[in-house]
Amino acid sequence: MTLPLDGVLVADFSRVLAGPLAAATLADLGAEVIKVERPGVGDDTRHWGPPWAPGAEDASSSYFESANRSKKSIELDLADPADRAVAQELAARCDVLVENFRTGALDRHGLGYDAVAARNPGVVYASVTGFGSGEGAALAGYDFLVQAVGGLMSITGRPEEPMKVGVALVDVLTSKDAVVGILAALRAREQRGGRGQRVEVNLLSSLLGSLANQASSYLATGQAPAAMGNRHPSIAPYEALRAKDGQVALCCGNDGQFARLAAEVGRPGLAVDARFATNADRVAHRDALVAQLEEALAADTVDSWVARLSAVGLPVGRVGTVADGFELAARLGLDPTVDLGDGASPQVRSPIRLSATPVSSYGAPPRLGEHNDDIRQMLSTSQNDQETPR
Rounded CA-CA distance 33/361 in Å is 13
Closest to 242 in 3D by CA, of 265, 259, 263, 268: 265
What lies within 8 Å, CB to CB, of 15 at 6+ separation is 37, 43, 44, 45, 100
Marked catalytic residue, from 44, 171, 273, 339: 171
d(Cα 360, Cα 73) in Å, to the nearest integer?
21
CB atoms within 10 A of CB 384: 5
**Catalytic (active site) residue 171:** yes
Q: Are 20 and 43 in contact (CB under 8 A)?
A: yes
Q: What is the arrangement of strands in the sheet containing 316-318, beginning at the earlier edge strand?
A: 238-242, 247-251, 316-318
288, containing H or E segment: helix 286-297
DSSP 3-state assignment of 183?
A: helix
Q: Which residues are catalytic?
A: 171
